[in-house]
Amino acid sequence: MGIEVEATCSPQVERKVIAASTSCTSHAHTREQLRTLAEIDIGEKRCERMVQRVGSERVRQREQRWEDYQALPLPETKTAPADAPLGGWDHRVAVVMADGGRIQLRDERWGTPRKEGEKKRSWWREPKVALVATFASESHDADPMPEVPECLHDPLWLIPRINAIKAATGGDAAAEEVQETASAASVPPADSASPADRRHEWSPSPLVRSVVSTLQPYAHLGRLAKVEAYHRGFSAASRKAFVADGLQSNWTIHQTQFSDYTPITDLMHALTYVYKAAKESTDDMEECWTRCQAWVTCVWQGKVTCVIDAIDGLLAGVVDESVREALLEVHGYLKNNKDRMKYDQYRRRGLPITTALMESTIKQTNRRMKGTEKFWLDGAEPQSQLCADSLSETRPLDNYWRERSENATGFRKSRANR
């Protein structure tokens, strides 16, 4: 039988509630897990109020952190703070990534009848997430992996990942597409197909990540990431990269906050567009796959202009308007991002070329925030902040609880230990 919690919770209980709230899928789930694992009986509404209170405090702290950063003299913002990790940048690279999740958010139209002629309402919104991370990395005199990995020549490996990025409907249609392309490419349609280099790391291995998140515009996300990078001492890094997909909002963050970082468009998003161009340009699956593989090789080796020129040639003979629109979309994407797709140079410098760690972080955040049954009102920003804190390997919540305890008890650390 669980311990029934009284009106005032101890700090230990409150910490357990906050920790459970970021790993569980709802406040009801949080209550059940606390009863089962910690033998603490606390109401669902009480859990929600605690999350709101602590999450709101953390939001205020991060905004104060930005104000403190803005108050610094400009030269000081270009250096690492005294408490930042020092040294070791010859074997590490500083990386910032940005992307968005999905949640349902109520607005002023909630509960009001739809007006005549008004389109079906959508409550889906995009919480913005940025990753500030270090990667173990070494630079090389030449491209350490000039040949295309075998898995990128395997439709059983590549097409499902492309469909996932495109947010395809999946199901039987996606499975049929994979098998049809595999047959055209003379690949055995079996799950046992295992390219030897499938596990080979195309990018450096991640070390320590920090996560920041907000429902405010991308410009605000950029400011939060900038402050986090400052406190992580990224200004001292000799190699820095900003990695994202082709969304313009991401590159606006790069231009305004991280212009001295090497810009890199995620490789897998680029291959998604390459495959789309190959598929739309012909009805013959064998020709589609042959064309796709040639273009994948060009992209991998940093020769994106070859793909752009090839699409130019195809456009000259296209009659079907829908095909023309699809090819023009791919052409525009590759042309706009070609200066951020020099993958051979990035591998030589030991920089990451995919946003795999960012995609993983988004999925972990979505586990708590996203759901067709979930509609957020006032609690989305505090909960999003706590999710980001819990995913940060720099453990900001540890500092929060320690400072809160010190302030509550009147204990003051000695200046030497700060």
Task: Measure the CA dihedral 344/349/354/359, to 10°.
Answer: 180
Contact 391, 364 (CB under 8 A): yes
Any domain includes 416:
no
Structural domain boundaries, residue 89: 79-101+121-137+204-257
Give the number of domains in the chain. Answer: 2
Residue 171 shares a structural domain with residue 287: yes
Any domain includes 42:
no
SS3 344: helix
CA neighbours within 13 Å on the CB side: how many for 324? 7
Distance CA 118, CA 358 (A): 36
Q: How far is CA 245 from the centre of its chain?
A: 9
Residue 170 shares a structural domain with residue 318: yes
Q: Which residues of the chain have pLDDT under 50?
A: 1-7, 168-175, 178-179, 188-199, 415-418
Residue 278 shares a structural domain with residue 336: yes
| pLDDT at residue 194, as a whole number | 47
Closest CA to 340 of 248, 205, 206: 248
| pLDDT at residue 175, as a whole number | 46
Any domain includes 159:
yes
The region that residue 350 occupies, defined by phi over 0 for left and psi between -120 and 50 for alpha, beta otherwise, is: left
| pLDDT at residue 85, as a whole number | 74
The residue among 296, 331, 348 that closes a domain is: 348
What size, in residues, is the chain?
418
Any domain includes 176:
yes
Any domain includes 131:
yes
Q: What is the pLDDT of residues 298-307, one digit of tens each?
A: 999 999 999 9
The residue among 314, 348, 382 that closes a domain is: 348
Any domain includes 61:
no
Residue 298 shares a structural domain with residue 159: yes
Q: How far is CA 171 from the centre of its chain?
A: 25
At 278, the amino acid letter reads A
Any domain includes 341:
yes
| pLDDT at residue 86, as a whole number | 65
Sign (positive or negative) of CA dihedral 235, 241, 245, 247 = positive
Cβ neighbours of 179 (radius 10 Å): 15
Tokens of 117: 């002629």
Residue 133 shares a structural domain with residue 271: no
Distance CA 380, CA 374 (A): 11
The residue among 348, 371, 406 that closes a domain is: 348
Residue 272 shares a structural domain with residue 248: no
Residue 328 shares a structural domain with residue 223: no
Residue 164 shares a structural domain with residue 243: no
Any domain includes 316:
yes
Distance CA 193, CA 29 (A): 39
Residue 155 shares a structural domain with residue 180: yes
Residue 329 shares a structural domain with residue 274: yes
Sign (positive or negative) of CA dihedral 395, 397, 401, 404 = positive
Closest CA to 275 of 292, 287, 291, 290: 292
Residue 194 shares a structural domain with residue 216: no
Element (H, E) at 173: helix 171-184
Strand partners, 211: 131
Residue 336 shares a structural domain with residue 216: no
